Amino acid sequence: MTRTAAASLDIHGLTAGYGSGDVLHGLSVPALAAGQVTALLGPNGSGKSTLLKALAGLVRVRAGSASLDGQDLTRLGFGERARHVVYLPQSLPAAVHLRVFESVLVAAKAGEALSTPVDMAAIDRLLDRLGIGHLALHYLDALSGGQKQLVGLAQALIRHPRVLLLDEPLSALDLNYQFHVMQLLKQETREHGLISIIVLHDLNVALQHADRAVMIQGGRLHAEGPPADVITPASLATVYGVQARVEACSRGVRQVLVDALDEHPR
């Protein structure tokens, strides 16, 4: 399903949190365009996961808006929002006793009208592209953590969301699969016109694979733009508290090299 209309997501003045405490404080991010992978960056506790949950309707938004082509997601009911937004958490729920193919089929049905037939071949193709086609008939509760994460990604992608929210999707994957998954996400994002927001801790992955970066600190925007403009020695010192260089390798790809902790920690 390829979309022809360009979508955009505009986050304005978002304040959200848990209980009586706020984690996001009037966070605003200029419009995120369809067809781009945005890396969401920041230290632990900066509000990255809270932002994804707020967009997905899992955290109460106290103020502000998140407009998808002019429609405020924060004012939609959970079911209506789920038609547009798919969220893949960092820690997946306990695996149920379903086969991999069955679990992706269930996810596909959740994203379509009950009367709409599901393209079974599309599920096979997606599993193959993720490198887990050979696991189609395996049970979820028998998979490794990395394999479950790939199945979760398949469940998210098969629903063809307008907004794809991934919280550290690479955390349980080895180097081979990290590169493979980022390449696939970029391809899927472009082909289907997704607005993909991915929480990353590996800044070098963001520099190499993301189209855009959003760096937050203390629940507020610190910087946004092309990754090379956001991930700088100055921002790394201010936000992460490290002395670092950002240098191009022999192939021209920029990389972060940390030399020491900053003398004036954040």
pLDDT band at 266 (very low <50, low <70, confident <90, very high): low
> What DSSP string runs through 29-63?
EEEEETTEEEEEE--TTSSHHHHHHHHHTSSEEEE
Same domain, 248 and 185: no
Same domain, 112 and 211: yes
Same domain, 27 and 61: yes
Residue 263 falls within a domain, yes or no?
A: yes
pLDDT for the residue 2: 45
Residue 47 falls within a domain, yes or no?
A: yes
Same domain, 259 and 141: no
Domain extent at residue 193: 8-219
> Looking at the predicted structure, is the pLDDT value of residue 20 above 90?
no
Instruction: Name 49's Cβ contacts closer than 8 Å, sequence gap at least 6.
Output: 90, 167, 199
Residue 134 falls within a domain, yes or no?
A: yes
**Alpha carbon distance 30, 36 (integer Å):** 14
Same domain, 37 and 81: yes
CATH number of the structural domain spanning residue 189? 3.40.50.300
Same domain, 241 and 164: no
Residue 225 falls within a domain, yes or no?
A: no
Residue 227 falls within a domain, yes or no?
A: no
Q: Percent of the chain at pLDDT above 90?
A: 75
pLDDT for the residue 210: 97
Residue carrying the six token digits 């999707």: 169
Residue 224 falls within a domain, yes or no?
A: no
Q: Where are the alpha helices (DSSP H) in the chain?
A: 48-56, 78-82, 100-110, 120-129, 145-157, 175-192, 203-209, 227-230, 233-235
Domain count, the chain: 2
Same domain, 245 and 117: no
Same domain, 254 and 205: no
Same domain, 158 and 263: no
Query: What confidence tens digit (pLDDT) does each residue in 125-144 have?
Result: 999 999 999 999 999 989 98
> Looking at the predicted structure, is the pLDDT value of residue 1 above 60?
no
Give the mean pLDDT of 32-60: 96
pLDDT for the residue 7: 79
Same domain, 62 and 83: yes
Query: What confidence tens digit (pLDDT) does each residue in 152-209 have?
Result: 999 999 998 999 999 999 988 999 999 999 999 999 999 999 999 999 999 999 999 9
The chain-wide mean pLDDT, for the chain, equals 91
Residue 182 falls within a domain, yes or no?
A: yes
Same domain, 250 and 209: no
Query: What confidence tens digit (pLDDT) does each residue in 215-236 have?
Result: 999 999 999 999 999 999 999 9
Q: What pTM was computed for the model?
A: 0.91
Residue 3 falls within a domain, yes or no?
A: no
> Looking at the predicted structure, is the pLDDT value of residue 24 above 90?
yes
Give the mean pLDDT of 76-94: 86
Crossing angle (nearest 10°) for helices 175-192 and 145-157: 0
Same domain, 119 and 205: yes
Q: What are residue 220's DSSP bridge partners?
A: 217
